[in-house]
């Protein structure tokens, strides 16, 4: 037991540590997780999950994959593909059969794998998967449409690849004396029937859960635990009919709940995403740590040639042929034709079926695990480092620096937006009052007219363009709700709000800190006071701190000023907030709200909007 606890602790430390380093250094998380698993597994010999976890390892991985797929399905809304339904459907039919056939040819003729194992492996490799697609989408700042295409394909094709592997596996073991003598027609029919039943079961469980949550039959504090139990049940019952059929059920369950318009869907999605990240980290560490020297030594030139064929021929041809006649642009087809990283589902399913086939002496089975790890490492590393530059080149990602979304139009916030724009940053002012947005329109500032919390906003405002949120409306509760709603997507450290009265924790009318975004301004100045100062001719001023005019001199001259943000030499933005005052440095471009007689007025960028 002590060994299991130590192993799980180390796996958690390595997995979450790799995720944190990836966030800190802006690197693909799965690459660092793979390196951590290899270093502490086959290289240092500290981790031996198969020995240390024993019989618990396989069910742990199975449940983790199920929850990961459910969480992926929970993020799929039909409204996201309203304008490209045909294009996404083509990735399944004929995309999957085409990729399967071409992949089988490459696996057999290039990698030299015998036909039974080659056909099974090619079926598994049609998957891309949420475990690798989601982190890539977060780092690349893709346009909403391009991101939706990759996300839907990855999550929908994951269970399909697993079910193809099931069908081929059943046929192979029948041919090699381990099955019950089913014909290919019977196996295909059984697979089709079980798939339909699994999908129907997942939809039923998702509908019942959504109905129970909507009707208030489950209290708020029990929703997440109930949902977790239902996911495990939804996964296991179809598996009793056919191995891995539960993957389809949990995916459909997630999609059903995502489109049920649940009031608490964001909180549930956040909880599930947190669990999924933990499982992604742990499972990938386990699988890579299980590699042994023989698998690593089996990499040769044929494997390298196979990887090139899969990356440069099989995937692009499958995508371009299957999307002929759709409304996808050539840029979107080129991006999706290149980006196809394989992840945990590919390795987990391959490891299971390869092990069973080796016990039955199926030709080529021993080659599948090395091939699977080679595909995962190659695609994750290559696609992880190329998705951003390629998306920028094709015009499918924002080419500008992370911008600012200012929610709440007022004379003060419009003046702030104008100065942020003068810094060379994209900025949009959002409000549900057309009249309040008039000064922003007159100042040639981008505006969004509508309720920022509405679902309709998701179709008209691409949040990937923005790295920072300022909720500065006149309703403090609305500001807090905006920050709470958008924090999971933009990051808690990137959402800020101002108080209507200022920062006074003893005020019985003040909202709980836990419900708010971070408080803008180190002094916590409230909106009423800021607007009052605006009409007293306070202005936003940009100052570049130099050796001749260092931070100390600026602070001496501007004791009353409120610092908004500082742009470092490397382009990094640091926002001034109550819980993290800015440490100024030489070379900073400083944006501050200062009184009219500021001694540094002559040093400022004299923008007319200030």
Share the mean pLDDT of the chain. Answer: 81
The closest alpha carbon to 405, from 309, 322, 530, 489, belongs to 489
Lowest mean pLDDT among 30-34, 283-287, 486-490, 508-512: 508-512
Average pLDDT over residues 106-118: 91
Residue-level pLDDT at 203: 93
pLDDT for 455 equals 60
Distance CA 310, CA 99 (A): 9
Residue with tokens 């999609």: 255
Q: What structural domains and CATH numbers belong to the chain? A: 57-394 (1.20.1530.20), 403-603 (3.40.50.720)
Strands annotated E in 408-459: 427-431, 446-449
Query: In whole angstroms, what is the distance from residue 470 CA to residue 498 CA?
Result: 8
DSSP assignment of 235-263, as one string?
Answer: HHHHHHHSTTTHHHHHHHHHHHHHTS--T
**Could you give the CA distance from residue 569 to residue 293 in angstroms, rounded to a whole number?**
46
- The C-alpha atoms of residue 36 and residue 21 are separated, in whole angstroms, by 11
**Band (177; pLDDT cuts 50, 70, 90):** low
Of residues 347 and 187, the one with the higher pLDDT is 347
Angle at 377 between CA 137 and CA 170, to 5 degrees: 100
Res 82: pLDDT: 61
The most confident of the ranges 48-52, 158-162, 352-356 is: 48-52
Instruction: Name which residue leads in pLDDT, 178 or 437.
Output: 437
pLDDT value for 208: 93
DSSP three-state, residue 327: coil
Instruction: Please determine, for residue 423, whether its predicted confidence score (pLDDT) is greater than 60.
Output: yes
Weakest mean pLDDT among 364-373, 512-521, 574-583: 512-521
Q: Which pLDDT score, from 0 to 100, does residue 8 have?
A: 87
Pairing of strands 562-567, 589-594: antiparallel
Asked if the peptide bond before residue 338 counts as cis, ω within 30 degrees of 0, the response is no
pTM, full prediction: 0.65
The alpha carbon of 472 is separated from its chain's Cα centroid by a whole number of angstroms, namely: 27
User: Under a CB-based contact definition with an 8 Å cutoff, are residues 500 and 528 in contact?
Assistant: yes
Alpha carbons 406 and 404: distance in angstroms, whole number:
6
User: Is residue 277 pLDDT above 60, yes or no?
Assistant: yes
What's the pLDDT at 86? 64
pLDDT at site 498: 84
User: 105 pLDDT exceeds 90?
Assistant: yes
What is each CA distance from 593 to 514, 537, 560, 576, in whole angstroms?
A: 27, 10, 9, 12
Quick one: tokens of 221?
Answer: 């504090």
Q: What is the mean pLDDT of residues 169-184?
A: 64
Query: Measured between alpha carbons, how far is 269 from 281 in angstroms, rounded to an integer?
Result: 18
Instruction: Assign 3-state DSSP to the chain and report helix, strand, coil percentages, each to 5.
Output: 60, 10, 30
**Residues 341, 380 contacting (CB under 8 angstroms):** yes
How far apart, in whole angstroms, are the C-alpha atoms of residue 257 and residue 206? 5
In this predicted model, what pLDDT tens digit does every residue of 279-296 receive, in sequence order?
778 877 887 787 776 666
Q: What is the dihedral of CA 343, 346, 350, 353, to 10 degrees?
A: 140
The pLDDT of residue 254: 86
Distance of alpha carbon 38 from alpha carbon 494, whole angstroms: 34
Residue with tokens 């996808």: 328
Q: Does residue 193 have a pLDDT over 50?
A: yes
Contact between 110 and 309 (Cβ < 8 Å): yes
Higher-confidence residue of 326 and 375: namely 375
Under 8 Å between Cβ of 36 and 306: no
Among 81-85, 109-113, 166-170, 453-457, the minimum mean pLDDT is found in: 81-85
Residue 605 has pLDDT above 50, yes or no: no
- Kindly tell me if the per-residue pLDDT of 607 is higher than 80: no
Q: With contact defined as beta carbons under 8 Å apart, do 107 and 363 qualify? A: no
- pLDDT (0 to 100) of residue 601: 47
Kindly state the average pLDDT of the residues 434-455.
88
Cβ–Cβ < 8 Å for 498, 526: yes
- What distance, in Å, lies between the first and last C-alpha atoms of the chain? 66
Helix (H, G, I), strand (E, B) or coil at 518: strand
Query: In the structure encoding, which two tokens stand for residue 492, read together?
Result: 């808690």
pLDDT at 179 > cutoff 60:
no
User: Cis ω on the peptide bond leading into residue 94 (within 30° of 0)?
Assistant: yes
Summarize pLDDT for 511-528 with one digit per residue, the tens. Answer: 555 556 788 887 778 888
């Amino acid at each position: 037991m002590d060994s299991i606890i130590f192993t799980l602790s180390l796996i958690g430390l390595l997995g979450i540590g790799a995720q944190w380093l990836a966030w800190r250094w802006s690197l693909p998380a799965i690459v660092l997780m793979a390196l951590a698993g290899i270093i502490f597994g086959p290289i240092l010999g500290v981790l031996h999950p198969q020995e240390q976890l024993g019989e618990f390892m396989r069910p742990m991985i199975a449940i983790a994959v199920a929850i990961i797929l459910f969480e992926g399905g929970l993020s799929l809304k039909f409204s996201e593909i309203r304008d490209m339904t045909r294009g996404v459907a083509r990735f399944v039919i004929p995309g999957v059969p085409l990729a399967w056939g071409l992949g089988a040819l490459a696996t057999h003729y290039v990698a030299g794998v015998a036909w039974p194992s080659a056909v099974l492996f090619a079926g598994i490799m049609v998957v891309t998967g949420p475990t690798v697609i989601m982190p890539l989408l977060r780092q690349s700042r893709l346009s909403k449409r391009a991101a939706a295409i990759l996300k839907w394909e990855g999550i929908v094709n994951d269970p399909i690849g697993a079910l193809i592997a099931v069908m081929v596996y059943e046929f192979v073991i029948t041919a090699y004396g381990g099955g019950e003598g089913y014909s290919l027609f019977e196996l295909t029919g059984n697979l089709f029937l079980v798939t339909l039943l699994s999908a129907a079961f997942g939809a039923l469980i998702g509908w019942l859960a959504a109905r129970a949550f909507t009707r208030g039959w489950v209290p708020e504090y029990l929703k997440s635990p109930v949902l977790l139990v239902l996911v495990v049940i939804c996964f296991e019952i179809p598996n009793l009919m056919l191995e891995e059929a539960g993957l389809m059920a949990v995916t459909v369950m997630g999609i059903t709940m995502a489109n049920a318009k649940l009031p608490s869907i964001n909180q549930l999605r956040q909880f599930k995403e947190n669990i999924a990240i933990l499982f992604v980290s742990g499972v990938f560490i386990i699988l890579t740590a299980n590699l042994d020297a023989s698998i690593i030594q089996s990499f040769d030139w044929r494997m390298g040639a196979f990887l090139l064929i899969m990356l440069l021929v099989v995937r692009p041809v499958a995508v371009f042929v299957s999307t002929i006649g759709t409304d996808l642009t050539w840029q979107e087809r080129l991006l999706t034709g290149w980006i196809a990283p394989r992840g945990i589902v590919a390795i987990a399913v391959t490891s299971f079926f390869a092990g069973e086939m080796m016990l039955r002496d199926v030709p080529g089975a021993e080659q599948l695990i090395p091939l699977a790890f080679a595909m995962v490492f190659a695609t994750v590393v290559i696609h992880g480092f190329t998705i951003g530059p390629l998306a920028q080149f094709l015009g499918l990602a924002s080419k500008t620096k992370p911008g600012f979304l200012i929610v709440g139009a007022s004379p003060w916030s419009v003046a702030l937006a104008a100065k942020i724009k003068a810094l060379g940053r994209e900025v949009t002012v959002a409000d549900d009052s057309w009249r309040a947005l008039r000064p922003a329109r007159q100042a040639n500032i981008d505006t969004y007219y509508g309720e920022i919390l509405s679902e309709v906003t998701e179709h008209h405002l691409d949040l990937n363009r923005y790295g920072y949120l300022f909720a500065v409306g006149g309703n403090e509760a609305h500001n807090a709700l905006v920050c709470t709603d958008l924090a999971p997507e933009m990051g808690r450290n990137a959402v800020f709000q101002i108080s209507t009265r200022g920062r006074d924790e003893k005020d019985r009318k003040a909202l709980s800190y836990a419900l708010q975004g971070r408080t803008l301004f180190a002094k916590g100045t409230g909106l009423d006071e800021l607007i009052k100062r605006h009409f007293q001719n306070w202005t936003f001023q940009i100052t570049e701190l130099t050796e001749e005019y260092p931070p100390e001199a600026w602070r001496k001259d501007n004791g009353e000023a409120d610092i908004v943000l500082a742009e470092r030499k490397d382009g990094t933005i640091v926002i001034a907030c109550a819980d993290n005052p800015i440490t100024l440095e030489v070379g900073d471009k400083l944006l501050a709200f200062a009184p009219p007689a500021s001694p540094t007025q002559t040093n400022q960028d004299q923008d007319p909007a200030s």
